[in-house]
Every structure is written in structure tokens, then in C-alpha cells.
């Protein structure tokens, strides 16, 4: 008989990157959007890297309770609005 362990005890989470990495039009920075979905939260964050690969900024874009395919309503192709805003 298999052990009956609650799912919460396993600290389940799913983490993935959006397919498109987006470079700033001047090619100096790269934005990568990632999502992490767990039992108690859904979090989408963005990391900005410079040309040499050094992390320059990281920001949480969305943090909410998880629901079935919560990330689907936030998906789309990332684009830069200007040199400061993704």
C-alpha cells in the first residue's frame, strides 16, 4: 500500500519560462519572463539582463492565488513599450 502523503507536504510547484525572450530595441538588454505556480500561489516575474549576461533588475509582475491555467490570461508576446518599460 502506498503512503498517503498530503500534496502540500510535497511542496509542489511548476516553473517555466515564456517562449519569447525579448531584447530591447537597442540590443543592450534582454527580458525573460518566468512563471511559478504552486499549491498556494501563482507568480509571474521578469528578469532583465545586460549584454554581458549580468542580472540588472528583477520584478514580480503578477502574484495571485492559483487556478486552473491561471497563467493563460497573462500570456502573449512580450514587447518593450519604451527603453524603460517591458
pLDDT per residue as tens digits for the range 36-65: 888 888 888 889 898 898 999 999 988 888
User: Percentages helix, strand, coil for the chain, rounded to the nearest 5?
Assistant: 10, 40, 50
pLDDT exceeding 90 applies to what percent of the chain?
A: 7
Give the whole-angstrom CA distance, residue 56 versus residue 49: 5
What pLDDT, on the 0 to 100 scale, is given for residue 76?
Answer: 63
User: With left for phi above 0 and alpha for psi between -120 and 50, is residue 53 left, alpha or beta?
Assistant: left
Cell of 37: 505556480
Residues 6+ apart with CB under 8 A from 38: 11, 12, 13, 14, 66
Say if CB 24 and CB 83 are below 8 A apart: yes
The answer, as to whether pTM is greater than 0.75, is: no
Amino acid at each position: 500500500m502506498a503512503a498517503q502523503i498530503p500534496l502540500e507536504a510535497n511542496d509542489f510547484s511548476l516553473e517555466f519560462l515564456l517562449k519569447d525572450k525579448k531584447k530591447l530595441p537597442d540590443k543592450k538588454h534582454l527580458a525573460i519572463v518566468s512563471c511559478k505556480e504552486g499549491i498556494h500561489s501563482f507568480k509571474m516575474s521578469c528578469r532583465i539582463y545586460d549584454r554581458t549576461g549580468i542580472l540588472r533588475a528583477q520584478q514580480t509582475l503578477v502574484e495571485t492565488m492559483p487556478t486552473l491555467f491561471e497563467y493563460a490570461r497573462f500570456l502573449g508576446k512580450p514587447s518593450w513599450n519604451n527603453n524603460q518599460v517591458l
